[in-house]
Amino acid sequence: MNNSDAFKEKMTNIVGKFAGSRFVRAIMEAGYSVIAFSIIGAIFLILTVLPQAFPIPGFASLYAETLGRFTNLFQVVYNSTMGILALIFAGTFTYSYTKIYQEEEHLNLNPLNGLLMFLMAMFITVPQLVWKNGSVQFVQSLSKSNIIGGGYAVSSSGVTRIAAVGIFTGLVVGWLTVQIYRFTIKHNWSIKMPAAVPAGVANSFSSLIPGFCVAFVIAGLNLIFVIAGTDMFKILYIPFSFISNIADTWWGFLIIIFLIHFLWWFGIHGATIIGSFLTPIGLANMAANVQGANHFLAGDPMNAFVYVGGSGATLGLAIWLVARSKSLQLREIGKAEIVPAIFNINEPLIFGLPIVYNVQLFIPFVFAPLVSGTVGYFAISSHLVHKIIVQQPWPTPVGLGGFIATASWKGAVLAVICAAVAFVVWYPFIRHYDRTLLKKEQAAAKE
């Protein structure tokens, strides 16, 4: 085995172990869980911004007299999805994480109990507390910009800390909940009921001691932070905010794109692995954008503007393979890929060309999305195109995805431009690769 093969095998093993870890698998499940809720929320958000999406003369007044009468109701539905996103995302993570330990360590863990204990623990961190006059007291504020009653901060989006901004805290609390639950069960810290007791009753008592331990640990940690002048939520938000700020920069965004495609080149689903960690950041930034912030890394900019056609930004490539390639192999692969490419699916190309482990196609596979990502980043950051306020379904076709994400026709145009510049990067490499394969096919035909 040469050094190159040894490096490939080592990389595959390291990343494979990381991707297969219990924590990462639970994170991925959490990412899947929010898709339906984010789409539901997005639909009702779009209904509230239709006049901005369609700046047609007379449409705003027509909207105000019709759908505009119900915007507060639309906001309520949006708040009932995106406004509780921390509970949905971290709750699913906790449930999945508990279930993985239950199945793989054969422990008497109940995923539903894990979820319920997480909800209890999460709400211990939600109220804002202060240490004043030798006791713990609720924060109270009735200023217009900071409404806090009984420790609970609220806004037009609902209770603020259970929305997207609380996802990172929720993940840490969920992880702690599962580990405490697992520890108590492994050490038999639970109340066992006789076999004759109904399963529901026995199950509730079996979670009593673990639940108490979870409450004691989370409340104890929060108390320490409160006495120190902060709280668990604020402490845990610091690293999340730091990572989010880096990911929202141009160079940070390029690093993310590079890592996704570097992993893909080794045959590892980089979009799923890296994307699972980007989801909390994207959702939090998207919710902030709705409230007036200006983040680029919000919602799902990847499928909207970066890898249109699939990882590697291969939509233009798929079209060229069908229309212009001379190699029979490439033309047939193009025929198989052209329809999936419209919906951002390109495994036929990744494993059929192949792109995986193919040195000749490594450069365009990595640099095409870097270029399309750069175009998308600066178009939105410079406000030429409206910021992302909606998370579109990832298989949404090019153009339509950009329109939904930004609720603007400019988003659709930007997506098409991104696809075009990505193909410019691909063109010389795929043309050379096509000629190489054609010569091999002609030589094989002569033999």
What contacts 106, CB < 8 A, 6 or more positions away?
A: none
DSSP state of 197: S
pLDDT exceeds 80 at position 29 = yes
- Where is pLDDT greater, at 170 or 207? 170
SS3 143: strand
Residue 2 confidence (pLDDT): 61
- Where is pLDDT greater, at 37 or 193? 37
DSSP state of 396: P
Average pLDDT, the chain: 87
pLDDT exceeds 70 at position 118 = yes
Structure tokens at 115: 């979820």
Structure tokens at 129: 């507390």
Residue 223 confidence (pLDDT): 94
Question: 406 and 389 in contact (C-beta within 8 Å)?
Answer: yes
What percent of the chain stands above pLDDT 90? Answer: 43
* pTM, 2 dp: 0.80
pLDDT exceeds 70 at position 207 = yes
Helix and strand totals (H; E) in the chain: 20, 6
What's the length of the chain? 447
pLDDT exceeds 90 at position 218 = yes
Least confident of 47-61, 327-341, 396-410: 47-61
Query: For the residues 225-250, what does the mean pLDDT come to?
Result: 88
At 338, phi and psi to the nearest 5? -55, -40
CA nearest neighbour of 100 among 12, 181, 166, 190: 181
Structure tokens at 2: 């040469």
Residue 195 confidence (pLDDT): 65
pLDDT exceeds 80 at position 220 = yes
Structure tokens at 132: 């004043």
SS3 445: helix
Residue 8 confidence (pLDDT): 63
* E strand intervals along 110-246: 129-132, 135-138, 141-143, 146-149, 152-155, 158-159
Least confident of 10-24, 274-288, 352-366: 10-24
Residue 39 confidence (pLDDT): 80
Quote the CA–CA distance of 304 and 388 in Å, as a whole number.
10
Residue 177 confidence (pLDDT): 97
Query: For the residues 175-204, what does the mean pLDDT come to?
Result: 79
Report the relative pairing of strands 141-143 and 129-132 from DSSP bridges.
unpaired
Q: Residue 70 class from Cβ within 10 Å (0-12 exposed, 13-18 middle, 19+ buried)?
A: middle
SS3 155: strand
Residue 184: how many other CB atoms lie within 10 Å: 20
At 158, phi and psi to the nearest 5? 105, -155
Residue 222 confidence (pLDDT): 93
Quote the CA–CA distance of 221 and 212 in Å, as a whole number.
14
Query: For the residues 324-344, what does the mean pLDDT come to?
Result: 90
Q: How confident is the model at residue 388 (pLDDT cuts 50, 70, 90)?
A: very high
Query: For the residues 404-433, what does the mean pLDDT come to?
Result: 94
What contacts 376, CB < 8 A, 6 or more positions away?
A: 296, 301, 304, 305, 306, 414, 418
